[in-house]
Amino acid sequence: MSAAIHVEVLEGLLDEHERAVFETAGYGQRAGFGERPVLLVVDVNYNFCGDRPEPILDSIRSWRNSCGEHAWDALPDIGRLTAAARRRGIPVIYSTGQDPRPDGLDSGRWADKNRRRAEDAVVTRGRGNQIVEQIAPEDPDIVISKPKPSAFFATQLNSLLVELKADSVLVCGATTSGCVRATVIDGFSNNYRMAVVADCTFDRVQLSHRVNLLDMHQKYADVVTLDETLEFLDSLPDSLFPWFSPARTKECG
């Protein structure tokens, strides 16, 4: 692995030849954190976590998109990350899906790729897109509903980042290979510095999780650990974002 990355989950994915390919081509350079970051928590809802800690094969019987135990293993770390961001007055933005129409008109190509798509309008409607209680939004966090994988597509996210004068996005959530990756690529395409917090990101299949972390790190984002992200947040000056400063939040509450 590139000398610039020290994330345990990525160790051993490349053989010597493949490592040489990336290094010779110049990929995998560490871009570094930005100066005005926001934290984006992607789709940590009941649809992707299920409603209790249980093995994934049990969870997906009721929640077809659930990542089962992988989600619940990550929730405590996501809680630490969101709490640290709030302490430093860093905006915490959540994305989640939109509830589907009962007639399925808004399913688009989702319906083509999963034979259980119709369940969303009946089984999980009304609760599936709620953020899991253990890491639920607080004032003044922002929640964005999205129709497609990327949190940037057909949402107000980019406008909010412009208003906040943000230069970078710390990303965590689910799934690594789906909505997280799509969001990272769109953020990268809009010239934000992107970082993916590996400990706080999860997928239903570990191969997809690890390979997509590797690929994002080589080309689109820095894949970072929770510990180094917490250290970075603690290093930031106070009152970068007046709307989100702990003092102001306390006054408004």
DSSP line for 187-247: HHHTT-EEEEEEEEEE-SSHHHHHHHHHHHHHHT-EEE-HHHHHHHHHHSPTTSSGGG-HH
Ranges 70-74, 180-184, 211-215, 242-246: which has the least confidence? 242-246
Contact 246, 86 (CB under 8 A): yes
Which conformational region is residue 89 in: left (phi greater than 0), alpha (psi within -120 to 50 degrees), or beta? left
Nearest to 9, CA basis, from 251, 206, 159, 175: 206
Instruction: Write the pLDDT tens digit of every residue in 163-189.
Output: 999 999 999 999 999 999 999 999 999
Report the DSSP pairing between strands 142-146 and 92-97. Answer: parallel
Instruction: Write the pLDDT tens digit of every residue in 19-50.
Output: 999 999 999 999 999 999 999 999 999 999 99
Using DSSP's 3-state secondary structure scheme, residue 105 falls into helix
Using DSSP's 3-state secondary structure scheme, residue 178 falls into helix
Predicted local distance difference test score (pLDDT) of residue 4: 42
- 78 contacts: CB under 8 Å, gap ≥ 6: 41, 44, 135, 172, 173, 200
Instruction: Write the pLDDT tens digit of every residue in 67-102.
Output: 999 999 999 999 999 999 999 999 999 999 998 777
Predicted local distance difference test score (pLDDT) of residue 3: 37
Predicted local distance difference test score (pLDDT) of residue 2: 38
Q: Percentage of residues in the chain with pLDDT exceeding 70?
A: 92
pTM for the full predicted model: 0.91
For the cut 70, the answer to whether the pLDDT of residue 113 exceeds it is: yes
Q: What phi, psi does 12 have (nearest 5°)?
A: 85, 5
118, two tokens = 């119709």
Using DSSP's 3-state secondary structure scheme, residue 150 falls into coil
Predicted local distance difference test score (pLDDT) of residue 233: 98
Binned at pLDDT 50, 70 and 90, residue 252 comes out as: low
CATH of 8-252, one of 3.30.2270.10, 3.40.50.850, 3.30.310.80, 2.60.120.10: 3.40.50.850
Predicted local distance difference test score (pLDDT) of residue 56: 98
Treating both helix axes as pointing N-terminal to C-terminal, what angle do 226-235 and 69-87 enclose, rounded to 10 degrees? 10
